[in-house]
Structure 1
């Protein structure tokens, strides 16, 4: 697999993403459903944003590794949240996770009116190998 990021500016680097990611010679692609703070028994979290973000990240890692992929090969990450204002103070948690896996991914973050049940944040990813 060959991966190339396209960043005509520098400012996105502070926000831990790339403007575009091109991949060539891909063996396979994994499209992950949105992962949120739902426990192994299927119970949605009613905890705070920080706890839900940490669980969503852990669940995304679990799905990707269970499929035989690596988090470092995520090329697209969509973030859905019921409150960007509530999420923003915890954004460094996501940035540290991105740095740890050396991700170079395109990102879209959207504030939505609601998510399933009591959920506050959901992460949707595309990974390649």
Structure 2
């Protein structure tokens, strides 16, 4: 697998995403459903945004790991939230996770009217091998 990040500018580097990611010679592609702060028993979190974001990232890691893919090979990561202001107040959690796992992904952040039950954030990923 070969991955090439396309960034015509430098400003997105501080926001930890890429304008585009080209992938060639792929052995596999994993399309991950939206992951949220739902526990192992299927119970939705009613915690604050920071706690939900942490649990959502843990759940995303578990799915990717169980599929035998690597976090650093996430090429697209979309973020859905019911509260953009709260998400961006806690965005350091997301950015630290991106940096720690050496992810270089294209991303879109969308504020939505609602998510399932009490959920505040959902992450949808595409990972390559």
Aligned to 1:43: 43
Aligned to 2:116: 116
3-state SS, counterpart of residue 34 of structure 1: strand
Structure 2 runs not aligned, ≥5 long: none
Aligned length: 129
User: 1:89: Cα distance to partner?
Assistant: 1.1
3-state SS, counterpart of residue 43 of structure 1: coil
TM-score after normalising by structure 1: 0.99
Q: Aligned partners of 1:95 and 1:86: how far apart in 2?
A: 15
Q: Aligned partners of 1:85 and 1:105: how far apart in 2?
A: 22
Aligned to 1:96: 96
Aligned to 2:82: 82
Q: Aligned partners of 1:94 and 1:87: how far apart in 2?
A: 9
Q: Aligned partners of 1:20 and 1:58: how far apart in 2?
A: 25
User: 1:30: Cα distance to partner?
Assistant: 0.2
Aligned to 1:5: 5
TM-score after normalising by structure 2: 0.99
Aligned to 1:62: 62
